[in-house]
């Protein structure tokens, strides 16, 4: 039996996933969480085989959640579930250690298939993401996205800046000083060649890292 923990801030999505997975017969949903912090606690206590993780969570992005979950639970497999199917975010999640990436409009049977694949130690990417990764360099003229220059921490700060968070809030969310946030902000703007957080937000939207209705 594959033991699964669901982490998503929408109860309806969690319930839908639970029903789909448990109907498969070989999957048991052993816990549900509405935030990354709650999910981290449950993962430590319940030791699931697979975490199905929403990319957008209150207080913490899927990128940071992935890194913290993997650091806390040895052997854990993470399947990211998101509305975003554009690079480079899927690439960054896989680089951070996620085992799979699936969009929320995928059919129910694909969710089951993805959970089974990652539980067996394999990787799983939905078709659109897999195709984009394969064709990424061709589509970008052989050049990587400028966002790929950012470190994981810089990307965390950039995502929060893009949604309007101030330095103080970001510092509290990431457990770092405001001075450190300011330093990361300066480096992000320099690396991406933008002059303001408004321009930063526009760039992240264009690269599929931020959904416009979350701005």
Listed residues 111, 137, 163: the one ending a domain: 137
Q: Which residue has the higher pLDDT, 111 or 159?
A: 111
For the chain, give the percent of residues with pLDDT over 70.
85
For residue 210, the model assigns a pLDDT of 65
Q: Which residue has the higher pLDDT, 146 or 162?
A: 162
- Mark whether 179 and 132 lie in a shared domain: no
Tens of pLDDT, residues 40-91: 999 999 999 999 999 878 777 778 889 899 999 999 999 998 876 566 677 7
For residue 118, the model assigns a pLDDT of 94
Of 203, 90, 185, 101, nearest in space to 147 by CA: 203
- Mark whether 64 and 38 lie in a shared domain: yes
- Residue 164 clears pLDDT 70, i.e. is over it: yes
Work out how many domains the chain is built from and give that number. 2
Query: What radius of gyration, in Å, describes the C-alpha atoms of the chain?
Result: 17
Q: Which residue has the higher pLDDT, 210 or 95?
A: 95
Mean pLDDT, residues 161-188 taken together: 89
For residue 207, the model assigns a pLDDT of 66
Strand order in the sheet with 77-82: 27-33, 2-7, 50-54, 77-82, 100-103, 124-125
- Mark whether 83 and 38 lie in a shared domain: yes
Domain CATH code at residue 14: 3.40.50.2300
- Mark whether 132 and 34 lie in a shared domain: yes
CB 178 within 8 A of CB 164: no
CA distances from 90 to 31, 100, 148, 155, 183 (A): 25, 9, 11, 13, 26
- Residue 214 clears pLDDT 80, i.e. is over it: no
Domain CATH code at residue 176: 1.10.10.10
> The domain containing residue 179 runs over which residues?
146-214
Of 46, 157, 62, nearest in space to 101 by CA: 62
CB 73 within 8 A of CB 43: yes
- Mark whether 119 and 195 lie in a shared domain: no
For residue 209, the model assigns a pLDDT of 67
- CB neighbours of residue 83 within 10 Å: 14
Q: C-alpha angle with apex 165: 188 to 93, nearest 5 degrees? A: 55
- Mark whether 38 and 97 lie in a shared domain: yes
- Mark whether 23 and 86 lie in a shared domain: yes
For residue 85, the model assigns a pLDDT of 59
Tens of pLDDT, residues 100-147: 988 888 899 999 999 999 999 998 887 767 666 555 543 444 456 677
- Mark whether 111 and 159 lie in a shared domain: no
Residue 38: burial class (beta carbons within 10 Å; 0-12, 13-18, 19+): middle
Which residue's structure tokens are 């109860």?
Answer: 11
- Mark whether 112 and 171 lie in a shared domain: no
Listed residues 90, 114, 137: the one ending a domain: 137
For the chain, give the percent of residues with pLDDT over 90.
44
């Amino acid at each position: 039996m594959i033991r699964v923990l669901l982490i998503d801030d929408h109860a309806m999505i969690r319930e839908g996933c639970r029903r789909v997975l448990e109907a498969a017969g070989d999957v048991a949903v052993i816990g549900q969480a509405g935030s990354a912090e709650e999910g981290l606690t449950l993962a430590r206590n319940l030791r699931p085989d697979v975490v199905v993780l929403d990319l957008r969570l209150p207080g913490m992005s899927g990128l940071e959640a992935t890194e913290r979950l993997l650091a806390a639970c040895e052997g854990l497999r993470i399947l990211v579930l998101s509305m975003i199917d554009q690079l480079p975010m899927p690439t960054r999640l896989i680089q951070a250690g996620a085992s799979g990436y699936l969009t929320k409009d995928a059919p129910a049977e694909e969710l089951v298939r993805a959970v089974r694949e990652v539980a067996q130690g394999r990787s799983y990417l939905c078709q659109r993401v897999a195709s984009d990764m394969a064709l990424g360099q061709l589509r970008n003229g052989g050049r990587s996205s400028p966002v790929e220059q950012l470190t994981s921490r810089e990307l965390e700060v950039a995502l929060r800046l893009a949604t309007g968070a101030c330095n103080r809030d970001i510092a509290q969310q990431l457990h770092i000083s405001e001075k450190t946030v300011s330093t990361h902000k300066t480096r992000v703007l320099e690396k991406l060649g933008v002059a303001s957080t408004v321009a930063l937000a526009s760039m992240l939207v264009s690269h599929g890292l931020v959904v416009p209705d979350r701005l």
